[in-house]
Amino acid sequence: MGKAKHSRFNCSPGCSVEAAIGILDGKWKSIILWHLLTEDTLRFGEIRKRIPNVTQRMLTNQLRELEEDGMLHREVYPQVPPKVEYSLTPLGRSLRPILLALKAWGDEHLDLYGQVLVVQKEYNVAETPDASAEVVDVIKS
């Protein structure tokens, strides 16, 4: 019975859902993408301040993986001390409706866990006129 239910979605190994989740899979990747979506360009230290529980090593690894997957661009400036900035690529920005839908779902269902899991800051991206429409469109489809 459970097998029939899952086969209806046609997600065999290597399917597009598995591939998409594979890119976002990582404890901090979605959070990193969210911050870059809402703030455009950030330096390593700025990202780390926004995600206080991530270790330097883990953040470095997650940023490298996102860069390798084509989700973000790493700009290194030849100066002392070194300056490195991270920003989303067009492919990374294409995750905007997905991240907005995840935020909307989280906002709606956060109370199911009986505690606040994330200290939320208001972001400009959630207040853009088209953000609500995008979330509704993504949820309906």
Residue pLDDT, tens place only, 53-68:
999 999 999 999 999 9
Are 42 and 24 within one domain?
yes
Label residue 11 by pLDDT band (50, 70, 90): low
Q: Is the pTM of this model over 0.85?
A: no
Q: Do 118 and 79 belong to one domain? A: no
Tell me, yes or no, whether 3 lies in a domain.
no
Is residue 85 located within the same domain as residue 19? yes
Length of the chain: 141
Residue pair 38/124 in contact (Cβ under 8 Å)? The answer is: yes
Q: Looking at the predicted structure, is the pLDDT value of residue 125 above 50?
A: no
- Nearest 5°: phi and psi at 68? -60, -35
pLDDT reported for residue 98: 92
8 lies in some domain: no
Q: Which domain holds residue 55?
A: 14-91
Number of domains, the chain: 2
- In this structure, are 79 and 101 located in the same domain? no
Higher pLDDT, 61 or 118: 61
Judge whether 70 and 89 are in contact, CB under 8 Å: yes
